[in-house]
């Protein structure tokens, strides 16, 4: 699958205000500064679609993008961002949890993990929470081009081992690099397969 048209639709502070037109949705979420906006732009072949920033915490609402007028790509706020008030952090958490739990047209959440760092507690906790809540998700390792391959392999292996402490088998995973467009075809093919199942 190749995306022909990707357009920003709108941003919402609450799942109850999000579109309810039945189109399938694919949400992207990860720790702040994981490279989410760059990955979204790469997947959609459209620079500047999702706003990138050197400052973590840029995404603060549920951002919807209409893809080929057939499905939505949803950009969710990052978790684990410490430089905000506890009140704001709780608001973000309610917004994220509400969307993931209540959105019936959510086909899959893409949970982004930085391949350049050792396993992070909040990443593991979030993935385990998704499992407990039976939210459909896959894991996307990002920034595969930023470190030596041996270091990245060590980080990914450590992350997988940490997950296996709670999981009988690992969730599906994708290896990506926004700069090299690595993983783009695999993610789009995965989305296409799910769309076909619902007649899109």
Q: To the nearest 5 percent, what fractions of the chain are helix, strand and coil?
A: 35, 25, 40
Q: Is the pLDDT of residue 160 over 60?
A: yes
User: What pLDDT does 51 receive?
Assistant: 80
d(C-alpha 28, C-alpha 74), whole Å: 6
- Report the pLDDT value the prediction gives residue 52, as an integer from 0 to 100: 66
- Give me the mean pLDDT over the 41-51 stretch: 93
Q: Give CA separation, 154 vs 88, 120, 121, 133, in Å.
A: 35, 14, 17, 29
* Domain boundary assignment for the chain: 6-197
> What is d(CA 109, CA 75) in angstroms, rounded to the nearest whole number?
10
Rounded to whole angstroms, the Cα distance separating 157 from 172 reads 14
Q: Which of 29, 58, 44 is nearest to 188 (CA)?
A: 44
Q: What is the mean pLDDT of residues 173-185?
A: 97
Q: How confident is the model at residue 53 (pLDDT cuts 50, 70, 90)?
A: low
6-197: CATH number: 3.40.50.300
- What per-residue confidence (pLDDT) applies to 79? 79
Query: What is the band of 89 on the pLDDT scale with cuts at 50, 70, 90?
Result: confident
| Average of per-residue pLDDT values in the chain | 92
101-135 per-position pLDDT tens digit: 999 999 999 999 999 999 999 999 999 999 999 99
74-99 mean pLDDT: 80
What's the pLDDT score for residue 87?
A: 76
């Amino acid at each position: 699958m190749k995306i022909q048209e990707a357009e920003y639709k709108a941003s919402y502070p609450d799942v109850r205000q999000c579109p309810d037109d039945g189109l399938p949705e694919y949400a992207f979420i990860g720790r702040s500064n994981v490279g989410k906006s760059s990955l979204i732009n790469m997947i959609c072949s459209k620079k500047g679609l999702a706003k990138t920033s050197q400052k973590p915490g840029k995404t603060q609402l549920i951002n919807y993008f209409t893809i080929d007028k057939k499905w939505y790509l949803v950009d969710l706020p990052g978790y684990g961002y410490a430089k905000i008030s506890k009140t704001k952090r709780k608001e973000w958490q309610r917004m994220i949890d509400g969307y993931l739990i209540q959105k019936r047209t959510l086909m899959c959440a893409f949970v982004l993990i930085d391949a350049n760092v050792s396993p992070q507690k909040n990443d593991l906790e979030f993935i385990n929470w998704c499992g407990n809540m039976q939210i459909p998700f896959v894991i996307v390792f990002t920034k595969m081009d930023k470190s030596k391959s041996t270091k990245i392999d060590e980080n990914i292996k450590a992350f997988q081992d940490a997950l296996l402490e709670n999981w009988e088998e690992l969730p599906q995973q994708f290896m990506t690099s926004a700069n090299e467009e690595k993983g783009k075809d695999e993610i789009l093919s995965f989305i296409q397969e799910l769309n076909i199942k619902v007649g899109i």
